[in-house]
Every structure is written in structure tokens, then in C-alpha cells.
Structure 1
Amino acid sequence: MTHTRLTLTLTAATLLLATNLCVAAHADDDPPVPPGREASASAPVEVDANDPDLKLPDGATLARAKVLDIKSVVEDQSGDERREDTNTDVTFALQAEVLFGKDSAELGGEAKARVAGIAEEIRKQNAGKIRVFGFTDNLGSSSHGDVLSKRRANAVQELLAQALNDSGITYEVRGYGEQYPIADNSTEAGRKKNRRVEVSFPRTS
């Protein structure tokens, strides 16, 4: 009987270890979630529920503390460019029509000036790591969107690297295709917003 229990215990432990290893390996293969779509962090500061200065109604208790990530969003009048500032990151989203022709990854005439403006902000923030992520709408096949969004992200990264001319900066470049839409894909106005390249980097000021 003891031998049987020991065997079952060892088997369960082996399965648990194998499961954990599989989850860890799978997590490493998954692309990171784009900035602004991660779960909020837990608050690092604890509040004393017995503090006499707290004014709570009888029977009331404190809710679980959490960090509020304040986000500021500024969009230009045409809707071609959007800037998001949070406690930790700055993100610029450029609509694909401003940078590329239809279904193309060749940069157009406006691209250089738009990317130069982002490069200036990167210098101001003294950012050492930059993420360039491409996105499409949901028209066409998912696989086509994945390839096109990555090619567009690569094109923006190359132009950004030329503008910054800094070998100390590292880049993370990904194409997410139709994943993570920011607008309704059932309308052309929404699809236009979803066809974009996002450039993000940590904020230092």
C-alpha cells in the first residue's frame, strides 16, 4: 500500500513538473502583448485598514489596492497620428495610409517627416529600446495581414534607425496582423484606424 502511494505521489509530481516546463516553454515562444494592453500591476503600497484617519461607514471594508496607470491620448485633427502617454511608455500610432500605398510596404513621401518627429521624441526621452509593431484590419487572409504588418514594421524601423543613427539602441520589431484592433473593423473608418504602425519606448521624464 505504501509503495502504491509513493508511486502515485511521484507520478503526480512528475506530471506537475512537466506541465510547468511546457507552460514556460510556450510562454517564451509567444509574442509579447503590445504596450497598453497588459494587465495592470498590483499596488506596491499597503494601506492600514485600522488607521484612525480613515473614515469608513460601519461595516465597510477597503477595496483591494491597485496602481492607476494614467493614460493621455492626443490625436491629430486628421486622425492620421495618435500619441499615448502612460506612466511608463510613450506610444505613437501612425495610420498606414500616411506611410504606405494600398497593400504595400513601400514608404511614401510623408513617411520621412512623420518618423523624424518620433525620432526627436525618442532623443528627448533618451530611450535605449524601441518597439515597432505593425497591425492591419481584418480584410483579406490572416496570414497575409501577418506578413504585411511585419514588412511595414520593418520599413518603419529601418527609417527610424537611419534618423536616429545610434548603434546603442535596440529594436523589437513584430507584425501582429489583425490582432489587437483599436477600432471597429465593421466600418471603413474603424479599419483605417486599425491599419497602423506603432512605435513605443519607455518614458524617462
Structure 2
Amino acid sequence: MSDTDDLACVLAGARLMPVLTVPDADVAAPLAAALVAGGARCAEVTFRTPDAEQVLKAMAAHGGLTVGAGTVLTPEQAERAVAAGARFVVSPGFDGDVVAKCRELGVPVVPGVATATELMRALRAGVDTVKLFPAEPLGGLRTLRALAAPFPQARFVPTGGIGADRLTDYLAEPAVVAVGGSWMATSAHLERGDFDEIRRLTAEAVERSAP
């Protein structure tokens, strides 16, 4: 089974991946509830806040949501994230030690790439599903297509600067497994406790991402 198959199985066909930076574990449960109510089936919790492990635990325990860890930079972080309930791991770049640790832990890993050289390193390591990051600043769909052409075996999870207006364009690309975005649950939404708006934006995005 390839990394693409592994990730697809974990995501259960979901092609929308909310990317969440949650500074306070107290909002994790209502956030998970709002995402699920909006139809989301997976989410990536960035591992760069002090409460990230507690957030992962709370959201993973909610039910109905497959939760992964993002911004994982070291094997030790990967281990902690999986112990907290992460079902998959995402990195902003390619690190062989992180990939090896995730394989040891038995979870899909999606390393970030920004160039053909980085993509070649990932493929050589046996990773065929990568995160194109930061997608929009790198050139968006033009860059994705340019990378996909010489590497037909590669699959992408573009993330970074993508908004609701670009979601369907990315999902129309055959090489795209899922799209990551943070517009559904921004830091401003979380600061206000605006879970109704998170639910509404999630529902809109889920509808846009439907086949």
C-alpha cells in the first residue's frame, strides 16, 4: 500500500482539510463539534502552540473527526503527536528522520515540498504524497501542474494561502488528494468563540469540495 492509499484510507475520502492553530485547549471540544456539524471529517492541528497535545487529545476524542498533527519538525514531536491521538502527520518540509519515525509509528506522513529537488528526495524515500507549501505564494496551480507533469506518481495536498474561492480549482486537479486551508476557523474566529460561523464556513467548503 502506498502513502497515497494510506492517507486516503485515514481520511476516508475527505478532500477538505481544515488547518487549525488552536492556542487554547478549552476551545478544542466546541471547535471539533462545529467542524463536524459543518460536515468536516478530518482536520490538521498545527503542533506549534503550547496546548497542541491537549488540543489533539480533545479533538480526537470528540468522534466523527480524523485529526492529524501539522507543523511537525522533529521525530520527537511526531512521537508526541501520535501519542496524543494524531492519525497522520504533516510537515512544512521534508525531513528523513520524521518520515522514518512516522513509518515506525505506523501513521501516514505528508512532508512539505516547494521544489522539484525536494519532491525527488521525497519520492526517493518512498513518499508519494506531499504537501505543496506554501501553495499560493509559490505560484498556486501553475506550480502544482508544473511539478505534477514530470512526476506522475506524486500526489499533492496543497496548503498555504488557499481560500474558499480557490478550493474547487485545486480539487479539480487529478494529482490533488486533498486541500488544506485555514479560512474556516481562523484565529479571529477562535478568539471570538464564533463557532456558528466556523460551522457555516465549513459547511460551505464541504459543499464546494463534494464530487
Instruction: State if a TM-score over 0.5 links the two structures.
Output: no
TM-score (normalised: structure 1): 0.29
